[in-house]
A = this chain, B = another copy of it.
Amino acid sequence: MKLVKEKGVQRIEGGTILSPLGYKAGGLHAGLRYAKKDFGVIYSEKPAHCGAVYTQSHFQAAPLKVTQESISQTHKLQAIVVNSAIANACTGEQGLKDAYQTREWIADRFQIPEEYVAVASTGVIGEWLPMEKMKKGCTEIKVDGNPEDAHAFQQAILTTDTVEKTSCCQVLIDGKTVTIGGCGKGSGMIHPNMATMLGFITTDATIPSDVLQSALKTAIDQSFNQITVDGETSTNDMVISMANGMVEHDALGESHPDWHHFQAGLNTVCEDLAKQIARDGEGATKLVEVSVTGANSHQDANIVAKKIVGSNLVKTAIFGGDPNWGRIVGAMGHSGVDLNPHQCDISIGDITVFSNGTPQPFNEEEVSRYMQAEQVNINVFLYDGEGKGKAWGCDLTYDYVKINASYRT
């Protein structure tokens, strides 16, 4: 494992959800999908404190309801079971029963209380889970403690994703090394407030559930909640974090002298995963990062950044390598944030294209060439205050249409 240092946070290249002490995982093909792995479990040797954030959709899927109920009762988790292919959303009473049944099977399998099991699903809405296959998964799943099993799990949760998403970092707490690992999946229906994605974060830190919950929310607001692939919010989105306390140190809280290390580490893992999800958006050829500074507030900056990165016209222009900054202005203009059109600068990469309400002369070919890269940065400076924010997305391509015009059929 290679170490990459950044602001007191050491990124661990190649690290996974199994890098923190005391976690095991597994993934297998239970038959929900034609061939790909479709069923996975993360298991903690000790009951872990936990935090979770759920979709803001009013149509919350059955597994989220069951998981929310479990966590609110015990504030602890020891296992997370995930299936892809079928979302178990909009499935009425039967869907709830199926989620409870899955929870029960996993509790039996690991001999732990039912309330220590979180259930997550992703896939097509409105179909019932094939419970025989789910039972097969619950019975046959193995968690041997092999670090490579992380990949089996990570593959099992993917749907239209093309790559696994993973991140890991280490921070020092009371002089001891604490590890935070994460994985996630996209890749369509990705927009605000936990829209369409699953994220799982493990750590061996010692931290109470309420503190972890609050730290997770902070990290998510500037990462997962700032990505958009297509402006959609799913019924199944959830990010769950587990902290099993395998590294003994003074319990973390905001008054702990190393608190900011932990929060920075959690932020890093969440931002890494969020960017990987955006980059792997359905049909995407590149990652788009929009950075807004000089806004009235961080919230305003985040709103404007997300509006730009979510604009279909900006996304198609980036796909086409067309430095059509008018579309950036178009998106900003209807963000809902009060902007002064005469006080704003826009640059694509390092090249200023608009300044103080007036177009700037620039070399179109140079900007177009820059836009061919794997990542395109758009920077907006407002002259209103100290607020800053970032958002991430991807380009809108023929393949997005292709993937989504023939998802099920």
Contact = CB atoms under 8 A, between A and B. Distances in A.
Given A126-B329, A320-B409, A338 B89 contact: no
A358 B313 contact: no
Interface of A: 55-60, 87, 89-94, 124-127, 188-189, 191-193, 195, 230-235, 311-313, 316-317, 319-322, 324-327, 329-334, 338-342, 354, 356-359, 364, 368, 396-398, 400-402, 404-409
B359 A90 contact: yes
B235 A329 contact: yes
Nearest to A229: B312
Most chain B CB neighbours (cut-off 10 Å) among A125, A330, A358, A364? A330
Contact of A334 (B89, B191, B364): B191
A403 B394 CA distance: 18
Contacts of A94: 358
Contact of A338 (B58, B126, B342): B58
Contact of A317 (B311, B397, B405): B405
Contact of A330 (B232, B312, B317): B232
Contact of A359 (B56, B58, B126, B368): B126
Given A341-B58, A359-B90, A329 B125 contact: yes
Contacts of A404: 312-313, 316-317, 320, 396
A408 B364 CA distance: 11
A402 B89 CA distance: 34
Contacts of A406: 320, 322
Given A125-B329, A359-B127, A405-B319, A57 B334 contact: yes
Contacts of A312: 230-232, 312, 400, 404
Most chain B CB neighbours (cut-off 10 Å) among A230, A334, A397? A334
Contacts of A93: 358
A409 B368 CA distance: 10
Main SS of the interface on chain A?
Answer: loop
Given A232-B312, A322-B406, 16 more contacts: A57-B334, A58-B332, A59-B329, A60-B333, A124-B326, A125-B329, A125-B330, A126-B325, A193-B334, A320-B406, A320-B409, A321-B409, A396-B404, A397-B405, A398-B401, A398-B402
A152 B142 CA distance: 73
Most chain B CB neighbours (cut-off 10 Å) among A93, A231, A312, A354? A312
| Copies per complex of this chain | 2
A319 B401 contact: yes
Contacts of A398: 398, 401-402
B87 A326 contact: yes
Contacts of A188: 313
Nearest to A338: B58
Contacts of A409: 320-322, 364, 368
A397 to B, nearest CB: 6
Nearest to A232: B313
A225 to B, nearest CB: 13
A232 B326 contact: no
Nearest to A192: B334
A201 to B, nearest CB: 24
A397 B359 CA distance: 32
Nearest to A353: B126
Nearest to A399: B401
A234 B332 CA distance: 10
Contacts of A338: 58
A341 B232 contact: no
Given A191-B334, A232-B311, A405-B319, A326 B400 contact: no
B126 A322 contact: no
A231 to B, nearest CB: 6
Most chain B CB neighbours (cut-off 10 Å) among A55, A316, A397, A398? A316
A334 B310 CA distance: 16
